């Protein structure tokens, strides 16, 4: 039996009804809308915006993004490296690699572990060549679900190697799905002294576009050749940085103008056990010295196993800070609180041994902000960023709960506040927005006068509609709220059937008007998870989906983007019959001023099956412009989704409407999210 929350009741459906889930969920969504709209939508209702009654400021951080290395988010995702398992450190050292040709003798391809001399990157590949000609032995790398290759784009190849005797030649070939060469090069590796590692690099241009490419390296020469860090990057990376990030994916983030970026997780911060927790110090410095760990999402779901999912940390904390700076977002790193994932091993570090964990937090602040004369500030400068990153906040713990969390959190808080009094700490309220775990933590955190409480909600669309007024009654001058992870689930949490359809997106839009109306309490919010690879995901729904050549935003992405681009600076009331609009008559609304542009910005979400007209009166302004701009996100079909083939099926459309006086007459389409901007003169 499966328990399913519908409206305000809990009903039980038989297992064999699951196949009809989609039908039921659509039907129930409609029922809820009808109940909420009082069956018949009220026409021409007057709305009043009180533009001179500022209720509080909208923080610049209000709408942000949450990046976690899940669904091939980092390796195989924003980190543009095309070679999978480039340093042979996966549990199975040859995973992703295939030996080509016929080595003469057993052991001619040998993985060697030099842990004693290089603990960060212990393994390398030793190939014994026996006067080999081109085409006799080599390696093929399959990439992350293949490689996406673009015609006329240059690719940077590099390899760490050592080899004595005469030079060895590497014949490089990009291969399409039909085994045809679509780019090639010959790289000569001059002899070394056999001890020291050298790096050889060379670029070449692809002759065709191919979504399912792979990469061959044929070896020509004689003697022992040691190889490590075999790498292939496209050159069209974000900001054209060598060894950088996938520009199309980052551009989608930059387009949102996010107020913050929370990273690197999520559950990966906690790890299955403490040995597999995320440790930021191991992710900085030379890339070939950053030790790899298994990604927790590799084995988390038996129904979505991803045995080739590891974290190489080519993308580490320096790169995350740099990304935040690039896209104008405040960095929000999350650190391990001395606790492994409580859904997994639930290991905790003894309180008397928590020192190194707390020191990591203090050192991170120094790494981000410290003068170049400090230990960690110097490391930042050595990596190319002498100026501080201006870190103002960090999270201690992800979804941790129970007294064991509070005990550890108090130690972190005391140490951080003692050294950096103005620094703000984001605190976990557990896994859910209600229940015993939440109630316990909410009380404890408020007793501690916590700066910011992180709430997570993965719930059905109905929950989002019903909770648009969640924060109306929260204390105003106490701990602030961060909606750190949320997404409406069209089926249920961790179901593989969840879709990023318009039903989920419009429910989130309705809920977000409630966050915006309460922006004096809710200071940050972010959808989760952010990215998913169509051939490598573990968790759905996700904000942005990609394959190896394309990236597209879901309807949920456009909701987030519209809120972020229209966040304004100050909250003002928008009322009907003296009340906020939080679902009565199927309408949700919020309004802000944008003092930078002198505009009134209104958001209206019509979740009913009917179009509705509204007269909006703007009070408290002398005069309005003679026109208003409207941006409408809408679909007649609540099941509609975007896809690689139709990336903008649900996407915003702009229009302009004439105004007379201080009234805006607006027609709201069924299932629509409308943003109105009008200039006050």
Q: Cite the active site residues.
A: 399
Interface with ligand AHR (CB under 6 A), residue from 161, 313, 457, 539: 539
Taking the C-alpha atoms of residue 415 and residue 367, their distance in angstroms, rounded to an integer, is 16
267 binds ligand AHR (CB under 6 A): yes
Of 398 and 479, nearer to ligand AHR (C-beta) is: 398
Q: Count residues contacting ligand AHR (CB under 6 A)?
A: 11
Residue 401 CB, nearest distance to ligand AHR (Å)? 12
What is the sign, positive or negative, of the torsion defined by CA atoms of 179, 185, 190, 195? negative
Of 276 and 631, nearer to ligand AHR (C-beta) is: 276
Report the chain's C-alpha Rg in angstroms. 27
Of 228 and 399, nearer to ligand AHR (C-beta) is: 399
44 CB neighbour count, 10 Å cutoff: 9
Residue 143 CB, nearest distance to ligand AHR (Å)? 25
Select from 14-22, 73-81, 264-272, 575-583 the region that touches ligand AHR (CB under 6 A).
264-272
Interface with ligand AHR (CB under 6 A), residue from 75, 300, 399, 516: 399
536 binds ligand AHR (CB under 6 A): no
Among the listed residues 249, 253, 259, 320, the one whose alpha carbon sits nearest the alpha carbon of residue 64: 259
Residue 282 CB, nearest distance to ligand AHR (Å)? 20
Bridging pattern class, strands 260-263 and 599-606: unpaired
599 binds ligand AHR (CB under 6 A): no
345 CB neighbour count, 10 Å cutoff: 16
Interface with ligand AHR (CB under 6 A), residue from 210, 300, 319, 485: 485
263 binds ligand AHR (CB under 6 A): no
Taking the C-alpha atoms of residue 461 and residue 6, their distance in angstroms, rounded to an integer, is 10
Residue 541 CB, nearest distance to ligand AHR (Å)? 10
Residue 538 CB, nearest distance to ligand AHR (Å)? 9
Q: By the 8 A CB rule, do 173 and 215 touch?
A: yes
Residue 526 CB, nearest distance to ligand AHR (Å)? 10
Helix (H, G, I), strand (E, B) or coil at 229: strand
Of 300 and 585, nearer to ligand AHR (C-beta) is: 300
Of 543 and 668, nearer to ligand AHR (C-beta) is: 543
Taking the C-alpha atoms of residue 439 and residue 445, their distance in angstroms, rounded to an integer, is 10
Residue with structure tokens 């404890």? 444
Residue nearest to ligand AHR (CB): 266
Interface with ligand AHR (CB under 6 A), residue from 36, 85, 132, 398: 398
266 binds ligand AHR (CB under 6 A): yes
Select from 262-270, 312-320, 574-582, 632-640 the region that touches ligand AHR (CB under 6 A).
262-270
Of 221 and 271, nearer to ligand AHR (C-beta) is: 271
Taking the C-alpha atoms of residue 636 and residue 639, their distance in angstroms, rounded to an integer, is 9
Q: Where are the alpha helices (DSSP H) in 475-592?
A: 502-517, 555-565
Taking the C-alpha atoms of residue 456 and residue 482, their distance in angstroms, rounded to an integer, is 9
Q: Going by C-beta distance under 8 Å and a sequence separation of 6 or more, which residues neighbour residue 610?
A: 37, 41, 670
Of 317 and 367, nearer to ligand AHR (C-beta) is: 317
> Dihedral (C-alpha) 370, 371, 375, 378: value to the nearest 10 degrees?
110
Of 259 and 265, nearer to ligand AHR (C-beta) is: 265
Helix (H, G, I), strand (E, B) or coil at 465: helix
Helix (H, G, I), strand (E, B) or coil at 97: strand
Q: Going by C-beta distance under 8 Å and a sequence separation of 6 or more, which residues neighbour residue 281?
A: 360, 363
459 CB neighbour count, 10 Å cutoff: 22
Residue 271 CB, nearest distance to ligand AHR (Å)? 11
Of 559 and 664, nearer to ligand AHR (C-beta) is: 559
Select from 223-231, 263-271, 345-353, 358-366 the region that touches ligand AHR (CB under 6 A).
263-271
- Run of H or E residues at 367: helix 355-369
What is the sign, positive or negative, of the torsion defined by CA atoms of 569, 570, 575, 580? positive
Among the listed residues 283, 254, 287, the one whose alpha carbon sits nearest the alpha carbon of residue 269: 283
Q: By the 8 A CB rule, do 507 and 645 touch?
A: no
529 binds ligand AHR (CB under 6 A): yes
455 binds ligand AHR (CB under 6 A): no
Interface with ligand AHR (CB under 6 A), residue from 189, 250, 528, 668: 528
Site for ligand AHR in 54-83 (CB under 6 A): 68, 70
Q: Which residues bind ligand AHR (CB under 6 A)?
A: 68, 70, 265-267, 398-399, 485, 528-529, 539
């Amino acid at each position: 039996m499966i328990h399913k929350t519908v409206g305000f009741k809990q009903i039980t459906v038989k297992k064999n009804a699951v196949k009809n889930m989609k039908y039921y969920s659509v039907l129930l969504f409609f029922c809820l809308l009808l109940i909420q709209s009082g069956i018949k939508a009220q026409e021409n209702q007057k709305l009043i915006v009180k533009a001179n009654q500022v209720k509080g400021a909208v923080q610049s951080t209000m709408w942000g993004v949450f990046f976690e290395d899940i669904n091939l988010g980092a390796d195989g995702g924003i980190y543009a490296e095309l070679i999978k398992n480039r340093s042979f450190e996966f549990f199975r050292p040859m995973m992703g690699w295939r030996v080509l040709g016929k080595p003469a003798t057993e052991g001619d391809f040998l993985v060697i572990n030099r842990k004693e001399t290089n603990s960060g990157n212990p393994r390398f590949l030793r190939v014994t060549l026996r006067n080999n000609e081109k085409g006799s032995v080599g390696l093929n790398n399959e990439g992350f679900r293949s490689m996406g290759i673009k015609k006329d784009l240059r690719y940077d190849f590099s390899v760490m190697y050592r080899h004595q005797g005469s030079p060895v030649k590497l014949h490089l070939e990009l291969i399409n799905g039909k085994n045809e060469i679509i780019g090639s090069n010959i790289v000569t590796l001059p002899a070394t002294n056999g001890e020291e590692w050298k790096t050889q690099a060379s670029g070449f241009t692809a002759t065709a576009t191919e979504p399912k490419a792979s990469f061959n390296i044929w070896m020509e020469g004689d003697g022992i050749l040691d190889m490590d860090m075999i790498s292939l990057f496209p050159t069209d990376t974000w900001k054209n940085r060598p060894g950088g990030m996938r520009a199309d994916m980052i551009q989608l983030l930059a387009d949102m103008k996010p107020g913050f970026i929370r990273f690197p997780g999520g559950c990966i911060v906690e790890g299955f056990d403490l040995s597999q927790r995320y440790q930021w110090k191991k992710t900085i410095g030379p890339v070939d010295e950053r030790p790899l760990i298994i990604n927790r999402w590799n084995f988390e779901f038996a129904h979505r196993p991803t045995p080739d999912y590891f974290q190489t940390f080519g993308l580490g904390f320096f790169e995350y800070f740099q990304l935040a700076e690039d896209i104008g977002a405040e960095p929000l790193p999350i650190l391990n609180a001395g606790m492994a994932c409580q859904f997994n091993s639930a290991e905790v570090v003894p309180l008397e041994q928590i020192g190194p964990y707390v020191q990591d937090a203090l050192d991170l602040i120094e790494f981000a902000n410290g003068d170049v004369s400090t230990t960690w500030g110097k490391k930042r400068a050595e990596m190319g960023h002498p100026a501080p990153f201006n870190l103002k906040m960090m999270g201690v713990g992800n979804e941790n709960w129970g007294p064991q969390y509070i005990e550890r959190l108090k130690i972190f808080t005391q140490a951080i506040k003692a050294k950096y009094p103005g620094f703000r700490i984001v605190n976990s309220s557990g896994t859910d927005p209600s229940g015993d775990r939440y109630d316990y933590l909410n009380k404890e955190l408020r007793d501690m006068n916590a700066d910011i409480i992180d709430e997570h909600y993965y719930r059905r669309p109905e929950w989002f509609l019903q909770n648009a007024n969640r924060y109306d009654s929260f204390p105003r001058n106490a701990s602030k709220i961060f909606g750190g992870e949320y997404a409406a689930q069209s089926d249920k949490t961790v179901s593989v059937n969840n879709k990023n359809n318009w039903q989920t997106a419009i429910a989130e839009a309705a809920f977000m008007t409630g966050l915006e109306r309460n922006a004096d309490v809710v200071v940050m919010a972010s959808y989760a998870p952010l990215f998913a690879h169509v051939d490598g995901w573990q968790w759905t729904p996700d904000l942005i989906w990609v394959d190896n050549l394309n990236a597209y935003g879901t309807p949920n992405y456009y909701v987030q983007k519209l809120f972020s681009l229209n966040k304004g600076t100050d909250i003002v009331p928008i009322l009907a019959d003296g009340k906020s609009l939080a679902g009565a008559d199927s309408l949700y609304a919020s309004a802000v001023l944008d003092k930078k542009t002198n505009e009134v910005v209104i958001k209206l979400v019509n979740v009913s099956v009917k179009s509705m007209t509204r007269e909006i009166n703007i009070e408290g302004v002398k005069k309005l412009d003679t026109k208003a701009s409207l941006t409408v996100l809408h679909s007649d079909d609540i099941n509609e989704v975007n896809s690689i083939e139709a990336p903008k099926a649900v996407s915003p459309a702009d229009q302009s409407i004439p105004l007379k006086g201080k009234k805006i007459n607006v027609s709201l389409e069924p299932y629509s999210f409308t943003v109105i901007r009008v200039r006050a003169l």
